[in-house]
Each structure stands twice: as C-alpha cells, then as structure tokens.
C-alpha cells in the first residue's frame, strides 16, 4: 500500500495504564474463541457479550491519544489507514447531508475494558457500538500472517476497514435493527443467520472503502487486492471450524463462510457502492 502521502488520523488512542481487565469479547478474529465457546454451545457471542444490544459496563480503561508518527511503524500504519476510512466515509455521509462521526481506534495489549464489556487479546479486533470505538491489539497482525496465512499491508488494512464498517452500520441504524432481528429470530440458528448478514455487509463496506480510497488517492499496489481476499477467506467460519475442530457446523456460523466473505468483499470493491452491499436481501426491514 502507498500511504506515505496519506494524512494520519488523530483518533487513535492507546491504553494509558498498560492494560485493562481480563475477559472475552468478539471481533474479526474472535471466531477462534467462538469455536471454543459459541460453536460448541450454540451461543452467538455477539448476543452473549452485548455487542449488538448496547450492553454497557461501568469499567473504563484510561487512554491517551497517539500523536508520534515515528515511534512505531505499525501505529503509523494504523493511523494512516484510519484516516483513509475517515475521508471515504466522511464524503459518503456528507453526500447524505449528514456528518460522519469518526470512531476512535483504541490500541491495547493483553486485555482491555470496553464500553461493551471486558475483552482479552485472544478474540482479536472488535467494534463496540456502546462507545463507538474499534479495539485492536497490534499482536493480531502477526497472527493474521502466521496463523491465518494472510500477510501484507492490505490484509491488515482490511481488518481495520471491516471493523470501521461496523461503525458505519451503527451510524446508519443497521446495528439496532439487526439486534432486534436477532431477538425475533425464534432461536439461535435464526439469530446466527442475522449475525452472518451483518458481518458480510461489513466485509462489503470494507471493499467499498478500498475502491473509493484507491480511486481518490491511488493507495493500492499490485497484489494488495489479493492480500485482502486472502484475509477475508482466512477468517471464514467454515475454514476456522475445520481447522480447529475438524468438522463444520453451518447452523453455528456467525460470520459467514470463506467463499461468502470473499464474495462480499469483492462485490464492494468492484462496485464501490454501498447500495450493492444489501446482504439482507430485497424486502428486508434492515
């Protein structure tokens, strides 16, 4: 990725106290933990932890803004990618006659207390609608390359863009509607289907962001798209289940198959239009 000329976001912050409180939460890479908990127990971790129903805690982790671009190349990268998402989604909301509320991206190590509950690094990146923050342990980028087989700058950018996609859903009211649809689904398999549609739409939004950012500032290089597609494929429910437990249980899917995640990310990238990210289907109330 070519980000040297990109501005750096001032909305990246990090723990000011060296960590938070140990716990669990769900994110893009959280399906690893889901395989242990949700897949075997048939519970959607989004519902368990209150990500979609606005669950709150009274615990907060002290944080400080990150402003030194040179002290850590990974943090500089995160700031550049987040700024690119701010520019793309800021323009989109401006066209809607609305103001894009920029999310904070909170860096932590080991564990953190978020507005959605306590989280450990084991679950990977996640977005909390309760405090409108993306949470990321930079160690996940190493896992993405070594454990998930998805190296490269754009694979890392996809992770950030996917979580920011959940923020866009929250601002558009999709998150609340999806939470209501999960509660009315009549059981865990139905609720899981709603969760899958939410996650696939966030993948599609990530693709839209990539296309729009590249059209405006030519940030992509040869091989970047393929890196993003590998990242999307590597975190498919079927791929993770097969690797972790040797079998696949479709009713327990909460994020979508590898093929579905690639399909929707590619669709967003190829069209560059958020209207083409209707994973819920025609006639849906979402």
Check residue 233 and give its pLDDT.
Answer: 81
Residue with tokens 């669990």: 24
Sequence-distant (≥ 6) Cβ neighbours of residue 233 within 8 angstroms: 150, 239, 258, 259, 261, 262
List the beta bridge partners of residue 105. 12, 134
Contact (CB, 8 A) for 263 and 269: no
pLDDT at 284: 57
* Residue 18: other Cβ atoms inside 10 A: 11
Residue 285 in tokens: 């109330």
Going by pLDDT thresholds of 50, 70 and 90, the confidence category of residue 258 is confident
228-232 mean pLDDT: 83
Averaged pLDDT, 133-145 = 89
> Looking at residue 141, what is its pLDDT?
86
Q: How confident is the model at residue 145 (pLDDT cuts 50, 70, 90)?
A: confident
pLDDT at 77 over 90: yes
Sketch the domain layout of the chain as residue ranges.
12-271
More confident residue, 151 or 208: 208
Q: Which helix (H) or strand (E) holds 15?
A: strand 12-15
75 pLDDT more than 70: yes
Q: Which residues pair with 279 in a beta bridge?
A: none
Mean pLDDT for the chain overall: 80
The closest of 71, 76, 66, 52 to 192, measured between CA atoms, is 52
At which residue do the structure tokens 């590249």 appear?
A: 214
Q: What is the pLDDT of residues 26-63, one digit of tens each?
A: 455 444 444 333 333 333 444 344 433 334 444 444 56
Q: Cβ contacts of residue 253 below 8 Å, gap of 6+?
A: 192, 196, 237, 238
Kindly provide the b/e burial profile for residues 97-118, where b requires at least 16 CB atoms within 10 angstroms of the residue's own CB: eeebebbbbbbbeebbbbbbbb
- Give the pLDDT confidence score for residue 150 in this predicted structure: 82
> In this predicted structure, which of 120-129, 136-145, 236-245 has the lowest mean pLDDT?
236-245
Q: What pLDDT was estimated at residue 65? A: 67
Mean pLDDT for 74-83 is 96
- Chain-centre distance for alpha carbon 22: 21
- Note the pLDDT of residue 53: 37
Residue 253 in 3-state DSSP? coil
Question: What confidence tier does 185 reach under pLDDT thresholds 50, 70, 90?
Answer: confident
Q: How confident is the model at residue 275 (pLDDT cuts 50, 70, 90)?
A: very high
Question: Which tokens sit at 21?
Answer: 């409180």
The C-alpha atoms of residue 30 and residue 33 are separated, in whole angstroms, by 5
- Give me the residues paired with residue 64 across strands: 14
Residue 253 pLDDT grade (very low, low, confident, very high; cuts 50, 70, 90): confident
In this prediction, residues 236-246 reach a mean pLDDT of 71
Question: Does pLDDT of 22 surpass 90?
Answer: no
Is a pLDDT exceeding 60 seen at residue 67?
no
165 CB neighbour count, 10 Å cutoff: 28
Pairing of strands 104-107, 133-136: parallel
pLDDT tens, 92-117? 999 999 999 999 999 998 888 889 88
Pairwise pLDDT comparison (235 vs 212), residue with the higher score: 212
CB count in 10 Å sphere of residue 28: 28
Tokens 């696949």 map to which residue? 248
Sequence-ordered strand ranges (E) for 90-211: 104-107, 111-114, 117-120, 126-128, 133-136
pLDDT of residue 45: 45
> In the prediction, which pLDDT does 49 show?
44
**pLDDT classification of 25: cutoffs 50, 70, 90:** very low
Evaluate whether 60 touches 191 at the Cβ level (below 8 Å): no
């Amino acid at each position: 990725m070519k980000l040297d000329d990109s501005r750096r976001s001032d909305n990246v912050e990090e723990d000011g106290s060296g960590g938070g409180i140990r716990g669990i939460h769900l994110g893009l890479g959280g399906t690893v933990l889901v395989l242990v908990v949700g897949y075997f127990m048939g519970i959607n971790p989004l519902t368990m932890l209150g990500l979609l129903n606005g669950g709150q805690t009274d615990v907060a982790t002290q944080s400080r803004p990150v402003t030194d671009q040179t002290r850590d190349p990974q943090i500089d990268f995160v700031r550049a990618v987040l700024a690119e998402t701010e520019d793309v989604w800021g323009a989109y909301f401006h066209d809607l006659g609305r103001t894009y509320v920029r999310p904070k991206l909170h860096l932590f190590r080991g564990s953190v207390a978020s507005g959605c509950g306590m989280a450990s690094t084991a679950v990977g990146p996640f977005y909390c609608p309760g405090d409108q923050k993306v949470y990321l342990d930079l160690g996940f980028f190493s896992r993405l390359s070594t454990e998930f087989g998805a190296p490269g700058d754009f694979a890392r950018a996809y992770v950030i863009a996917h979580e920011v996609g959940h923020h866009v859903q929250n601002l558009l009211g999709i998150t609340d509607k999806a939470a209501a649809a999960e509660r009315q689904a009549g059981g865990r398999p139905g609720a899981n289907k709603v969760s899958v549609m939410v996650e696939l739409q966030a993948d599609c939004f990530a693709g839209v962001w990539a296309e729009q950012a590249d059209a405006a500032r030519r940030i992509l290089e040869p091989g970047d798209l393929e890196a993003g597609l590998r990242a999307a494929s590597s975190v498919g429910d079927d791929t993770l289940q097969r690797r972790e437990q040797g079998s696949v249980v479709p009713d327990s899917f909460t994020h979508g198959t590898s093929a579905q995640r690639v399909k929707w990310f590619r669709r967003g990238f190829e069209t560059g239009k958020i209207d083409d990210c209707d994973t819920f289907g025609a006639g849906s109330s979402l």
